[in-house]
Chains A and B, each alone.
Chain A
Amino acid sequence: MSSPSSERSEMASLLAKSNNPIFNLFRILIKTGLSILKQPHIDSKAFRQCLSLFLFFGIWQFLCATNFNYFINFDFVPSPLEVFGATMKFFSGNFMVHIQASVLRVLIGFLAASILGISLGILIGWFQKLEDLLFLPLELLRPIPAVAWIPLAILMFPNSESGMMYITFIGAFFPILISTIRGVESTDMLLLRVGQCLGAKQWHLFKDIVVPGAMPNIASGLVIGMGNSWFCLVTAEILAGRYGIGYFTWESYITSNYPPIVMGMLLIGLLGTFSAFVIDQLTRILMPWRVTKKQSA
């Protein structure tokens, strides 16, 4: 076995010899990255996070600028700068209609999914008979992707708006349902016994032990569900409409206007991340008793 240091020098020399522009870029990036990271005063979390974004956009711009074409073709991929241009244009126009329409669809779908997912999940998790009655059909529907629901959504719902909300609902419902069921099922036997010894009957066991015990699981279901809801937005807005970020993205594709597509994608990513973050924070406020420990290596 070769020692790690000799391995590293081998790799370095291999990189140095190469005339490939990609390898050269990597070499430069690794070198500068390492030298920056070695300095203690900027070895902070915020710095590393900024660096990650900088690298992401930097590499992307580089691949576009060099018309990278090994298996994956970047010829037609809009560069960050073009996307930035499209973004400026979008925000100087009537952008709020689009954002409002999308946010409303996601929120209503998510809200309905939360209410139904949590209440059904708690019932299914707690009552064996209800699980027998409900779980199989739900399991059957669960793997069906949002796209496959489009025809039925058109046929079933009175207007396209409610159809679209249904699609965002589908995205959020199943993660919330499954996490809630798991949370209720993982109720600590010991704590149930504690309750029984204090004279608690079904209702108190349920309200004070089962439901709070399932809350951490429900919370992670909500965070995942929120993300999934945005995930399904483009699919939903293919359905119809004149407004919405998903619609805007899809329309740009049909009219071969590429930079706005990427902008739409990033905007959905951004809104999705932000709303998932909000849900995460809200659920944390509801659970001040929770200890979160993380490895800080």
Chain B
Amino acid sequence: MEKDLVKPVKGFVQVENLSVSFNRNGKSIQVLDSINFKINPGEFICLLGPSGCGKSTILNVVAGFLKPTSGFVFVDKRHVDSPGADRGFVFQQYSLLPWKTTFQNVEFGLKIQGVPKVKREQLVNEYLNRVGLYKHRHSYPHQLSGGMQQRASIIRALVNSPSVLLMDEPFAALDAQTRHMMQELLLNIWSDLKLTVIFVTHDIEEAVFLSDKIFVMGVNPGRIKEKIEVTLERPRHGDVMLSREFLELNRRIFESIREETLKSMEMD
């Protein structure tokens, strides 16, 4: 209960007038058109939309992988122009370094920062225990299942205590059962750490289950069509998915996205 009194102080994200366009065959294609949003510290936000709406592009700009054509991103008032340890990233693809064991992978960020060895070991082991990977700390990535690899990727980002956790469809490659387990696990960790999460997905149920707010995105050009507040009670468990409120929200978003999907199909 004490935890609830602690107000998160970092993880304030501002995106201002963000536009991105790519050059393809000499033609300029606008991927994102003046995106604006603010995320308060500790909020869980989902970017939801059909493929091609630029949701991953937003994430890449916030991570610093991609320079916007115009506009700005600030994390805790600091202007983002390159990748950094204050923004943890969990990729859709399995992205553990194949030549490092689970332990070494999770430890990597701390090692770069120069955290002393004893402190490193204690922190990493704590996190490994938290997600049930302690047993597998000496395994190489190819010896782990997909779910284990993604759990390791998540704590690899978290162990650096970033301001924001950016997640790009992290559970898309997992089977349905594992995906549900991972979603619950993520919510658990998130409620413990009180950190800001920006989560990209095209799965409506996943978005409703996880988020405080959903930014529904439209296509051509990519923009935020609707911001939907999810008021489902927390902590949430799997059975919330059967509640009337959940289903109604689901349907409402489904209609909204369907419109966009049809639009994107016409444009092709």
| Chain A interface residues (CB < 8 Å from chain B) | 190-191, 193-200, 204, 208-209, 212-213, 215, 287-291
Give B88 Cβ to nearest chain A Cβ, in Å.
Answer: 6
Neighbouring B residues of A212 by C-beta, 8 Å: 97, 99
B188 within 8 A of A: no
B178 within 8 A of A: no
Interface centre among B64, B88, B97, B99 (most CB of A within 10 A): B99
B71-94 contact mask (Cβ, 8 Å, vs A): 1 or 0: 000000000001111011101010
Give B247 Cβ to nearest chain A Cβ, in Å.
Answer: 36
Say whether B142 contacts A198, CB under 8 Å: no
Neighbouring B residues of A287 by C-beta, 8 Å: 99
Stretch among B17-25, B106-114, B121-129 lining the A interface:
B106-114
Say whether A198 contacts B156, CB under 8 Å: yes
Say whether A194 contacts B140, CB under 8 Å: no
Interface centre among B83, B142, B157 (most CB of A within 10 A): B83
Which 7 A-B pairs rank lowest in CB-CB distance, beginning with the nearest? A199-B85, A196-B83, A198-B109, A212-B99, A197-B89, A289-B140, A289-B99
Say whether A208 contacts B108, CB under 8 Å: yes
Out of A194, A198, A208, A209, name the residue touching B160 (CB < 8 Å): A198
Neighbouring B residues of A194 by C-beta, 8 Å: 89, 91, 95, 97
A208 to B99, CA, bound (A): 9
Interface centre among B88, B93, B97, B157 (most CB of A within 10 A): B97
- Beta-carbon nearest neighbor of A212 in chain B: B99
* SS class, residues of chain B in contact with chain A: loop
Neighbouring B residues of A199 by C-beta, 8 Å: 84-85, 109, 112-113, 160
A197 to B88, CA, bound (A): 6
Say whether B97 contacts A204, CB under 8 Å: no
* A-B residue pairs in contact (CB < 8 Å), sample of 29: A191-B95, A191-B97, A193-B63, A193-B65, A193-B83, A193-B89, A193-B91, A194-B89, A194-B91, A195-B108, A196-B64, A196-B65, A196-B82, A196-B83, A196-B84, A197-B83, A197-B85, A197-B88, A197-B89, A197-B157, A199-B84, A199-B109, A199-B112, A208-B100, A212-B99, A287-B99, A289-B98, A289-B100, A289-B140
Neighbouring A residues of B113 by C-beta, 8 Å: 199
- Beta-carbon nearest neighbor of B108 in chain A: A198
Neighbouring B residues of A289 by C-beta, 8 Å: 98-100, 140-142
Neighbouring A residues of B63 by C-beta, 8 Å: 193, 197
A87 to B93, CA, bound (A): 58
Neighbouring B residues of A195 by C-beta, 8 Å: 108
Given known pairs A190-B91, A204-B112, A208-B108, the reply for A198 and B85 (CB within 8 Å) is yes
Say whether A288 contacts B112, CB under 8 Å: no
Neighbouring A residues of B82 by C-beta, 8 Å: 196
Neighbouring A residues of B99 by C-beta, 8 Å: 212-213, 215, 287, 289
Say whether B142 contacts A291, CB under 8 Å: yes
Say whether B112 contacts A198, CB under 8 Å: yes
A200 to B100, CA, bound (A): 15
Give B200 Cβ to nearest chain A Cβ, in Å.
Answer: 15
Q: Which of B145-186 contact A (CB under 8 A)?
A: 156-157, 160
Neighbouring B residues of A215 by C-beta, 8 Å: 99
A194 to B98, CA, bound (A): 12
- Beta-carbon nearest neighbor of A215 in chain B: B99
- Beta-carbon nearest neighbor of B157 in chain A: A197
Say whether A200 contacts B142, CB under 8 Å: no
Give A122 Cβ to nearest chain B Cβ, in Å.
Answer: 16
Give A141 Cβ to nearest chain B Cβ, in Å.
Answer: 33
Give A276 Cβ to nearest chain B Cβ, in Å.
Answer: 23
A204 to B82, CA, bound (A): 16
A288 to B140, CA, bound (A): 9
Give B160 Cβ to nearest chain A Cβ, in Å.
Answer: 6
Neighbouring B residues of A200 by C-beta, 8 Å: 108, 112
Give B58 Cβ to nearest chain A Cβ, in Å.
Answer: 16
Say whether A190 contacts B112, CB under 8 Å: no
A195 to B63, CA, bound (A): 12
Out of A196, A197, A209, A291, name the residue touching B97 (CB < 8 Å): A209
Neighbouring A residues of B157 by C-beta, 8 Å: 197-198
A118 to B94, CA, bound (A): 29
A209 to B112, CA, bound (A): 13
